[in-house]
Structure 1
Amino acid sequence: MTGNPAVRVLFDEAAIAARIARLAIEIRAAAPRNLLVVAILKGSFIFAADLVRALHRENLDPQVEFMHLSSYRQGTVSTGQVEILKDVDSPVEGRDVVILDDILESGRTLAFAKDLLAARGARRVMIAVMLEKPNKRAVQVTADFLGFTCPDLFVVGYGMDIAHSYRQLPFIGVVDGA
């Protein structure tokens, strides 16, 4: 992005930190066995780092993997086709898996990942998302663990970007004019 358009805060650092702590408690209450956390790149990397540390504080010992899936490529609207750009390296068979993503919008990416990991023999596949836009669903998928319900706005920060900018922001916000 050229210049520095103003970013309006939607969810601040304190609200995010408090919700992450609650999510870790909720995940612990699900009594996961042989837990594997699979973070969907790129947008979930900050959420994943914070949540994995919170899970540790809740006496869980997850292994962490990454998948890079895309249905957006260079645009801001889903193409409808999900591509695997990087797959997990660890076996998932017999494990409880929590897929982490930044936002549940159309649901295509998360439905694809959940179906893929279930087909590979995961004992249970759960989904945790930082944000959900409930009115944007194109396929039927729900989050087991939800940070915040988000208005139908294009959001940035806390790992989410527009044209590879704003990922570093410690809050979730809206770029004026985006």
Structure 2
Amino acid sequence: MADSRVRVLFDEKTLAKRCEELAAEIVASAPKDLLVVAVLKGSFMFAADLIRALHRAGLAPQVEFIHLSSYRDATVSSGQVTILRDVESAIEGRDVLLIDDILESGRTLVFAKDLLAARGARQVYTAVLLEKPGKRAVHIEADFVGFRCPDLFVVGYGMDIAHSYRQLPFVGVIDTKSDAPDLFEPS
């Protein structure tokens, strides 16, 4: 990948603006006793920015993490979701905002949502940075969507390929062509 470059799909300014907009949408849903659960690893930057935006919008959620994997080192989901690290906080009777990076096949989000609901969450809301509707393997619609995204393998802003590129402050695609067109649609 040394000869590849990363083409920006969503820059820092666009991501920051959308996080503020999503926070306003979440506040408008009037969650009670909110627990934010970020799905690691890919959502960590989005979750951090969204949680700070929620604070600025007047919410004071508690924050937890769950580490789930269906990719490991591959670029295509295995179809099997594995819990690598579980939530430690009590869920029962609380509203939960489940934050993930990408809604693609839907397996990870359905797995996590069902798990939290089975543990007694009053309501489980879902927020995703990117939605790729063309590859849905299970029925789920996110409650809050940052952007609709084309069927490209994206990196940056917490998302990786084989543990690389997570540190990028934008969402991009590894591109070997310099004349590639813009291929994204904001939600």
> TM exceeds 0.5?
yes
CA offsets 1:48-96 (integer angstroms, 9 cap, x no match): 1101000000110000000000111121111111110000000100000
Cα RMSD (Å): 1.2
Tell me the residue number matched to 1:138: 137
Tell me the residue number matched to 1:82: 81
CA offsets 1:104-142 (integer angstroms, 9 cap, x no match): 000000000000000000000010000000011000111
- With 72-81 and 16-25 compared, the bigger mean Cα shift is at 72-81
Gapped regions of structure 2 (runs ≥ 5): 177-187
CA distance in structure 1 between the aligned counterparts of 2:166 and 2:40, rounded to whole angstroms? 12
TM-score, with length taken from structure 2: 0.92
CA distance in structure 1 between the aligned counterparts of 2:64 and 2:50, rounded to whole angstroms? 13
What count of residue pairs does the alignment treat as equivalent? 177
Tell me the residue number matched to 1:40: 39
> Is it true that 1:176 corresponds to 2:175 in the alignment?
yes
Gapped regions of structure 1 (runs ≥ 5): none
CA distance in structure 2 between the aligned counterparts of 1:39 and 1:170, rounded to whole angstroms? 18
CA distance in structure 1 between the aligned counterparts of 2:44 and 2:114, rounded to whole angstroms? 21
Counterpart amino acid of 1:21?
E
Q: Post-superposition, which runs of at least 4 consecutive aligned residues in structure 1 deviate over 6 A?
A: none
CA distance in structure 1 between the aligned counterparts of 2:72 and 2:14, rounded to whole angstroms? 30
Equivalent residue runs for 1:50-69 within 5 Å: 50-69=49-68
CA distance in structure 2 between the aligned counterparts of 1:175 and 1:159, rounded to whole angstroms? 15
Counterpart amino acid of 1:126?
Y
TM-fit CA distance, 1:176: 1.3
TM-score, with length taken from structure 1: 0.97
Amino-acid identity (%)? 72
Are the equivalent residues in 1 in contact too, given 2:73–2:161 (CA < 8 A)? no
